[in-house]
Amino acid sequence: MAQGKDKRRFKRLKTSLIVRLRRSIVSDETRRRVRERIGNMSMGGVFIEANMPYESGSLVEFDFTLPGTRYLVHARGVVRWSNAGRLPDQPIGMGIEFLEIATESREQIRAFLQQQETSRNFDRLARTRLHREILKLHHRKTGTALSLPVLANFLGAPSSEVLAILPEFTTFGLLRKENDSVHFLAPKDPDLAEHLRRWIEKHAPR
């Protein structure tokens, strides 16, 4: 949900989901405008891209399906922020706060947002050759430890370069550095573990 000043309580995820939108008060205008696109989403609401957004304070109902699932989210909300083009430095559309949404739907959204966040984080962990070589080595060495010089030798890179990027992997619990040793850890986050498994299958098949 976008707004003029950043007073966000929840982290936003950029999306491109089709949503069926209608005002709570049914009208001919409502029937004409049934399909819009969700530009971003959080646990608190959504920002819907629309050339003719409803005015602030409008009560709306909307439905959308989360990608990769058949789960249909139905929600009621209120337009908290609206821009039909008068604010050139802001996106055109409307920010909608959830007012009524089923508990199961909230959990489905929470899981989806977590998966997408993990996917973005994992992409950063595989962005360079050295990052990718560490991921491949992690697959083979999980549960073991190597000294930093030995690890650098395995990777074919200077110890200084390896040391510079280790914090990125320790942040996600894949590595732990103790003195001169680097421990390879199994990921505790199931989403991260699944992303790693799929990446290994594609890039480092047996």
Residues of the chain where predicted confidence (pLDDT) is lower than 70? 1-35, 205-206
If we measure between CA atoms, which residue out of 48, 51, 54 comes closest to residue 24? 54
Is the domain spanning 126-203 CATH 3.30.565.10? The answer is no
Spatial distance between the Cα atoms of 170 and 152, rounded to a whole number of angstroms: 16
Which pLDDT score is estimated for 15?
A: 60
Longest alpha-carbon distance in the chain: 71
Which pLDDT score is estimated for 6?
A: 45
Spatial distance between the Cα atoms of 105 and 107, rounded to a whole number of angstroms: 5
Residue 114 has, within 13 A of its CA and on its CB side, a CA count of: 11
CB 113 within 8 A of CB 43: yes
Amino acid at 151: L
β-pair partners for 45: 97
Which pLDDT score is estimated for 16?
A: 53
Copy the structure tokens of residue 9: 């309580």
Which pLDDT score is estimated for 22?
A: 64
- All structural domains of the chain with their residue ranges: 13-114, 126-203
Fold (topology level) of 13-114: Thrombin, subunit H (2.40.10)
Could you tell me where the beta strands, DSSP code E, fall in 84-172? 93-101, 145-147
Strand pairing report for 13-23 and 59-65: antiparallel
Spatial distance between the Cα atoms of 19 and 40, rounded to a whole number of angstroms: 12
Which pLDDT score is estimated for 98?
A: 94
Which pLDDT score is estimated for 3?
A: 46
> Strand, helix or coil at 74?
strand
Q: How far is CA 59 from CA 63, 80, 174, in A?
A: 14, 10, 45
How many H-runs (helices) and E-runs (strands) does the chain carry? 6, 9
Q: How far is CA 130 from CA 55, 134, 138, 162, 164, in A?
A: 50, 6, 12, 8, 11
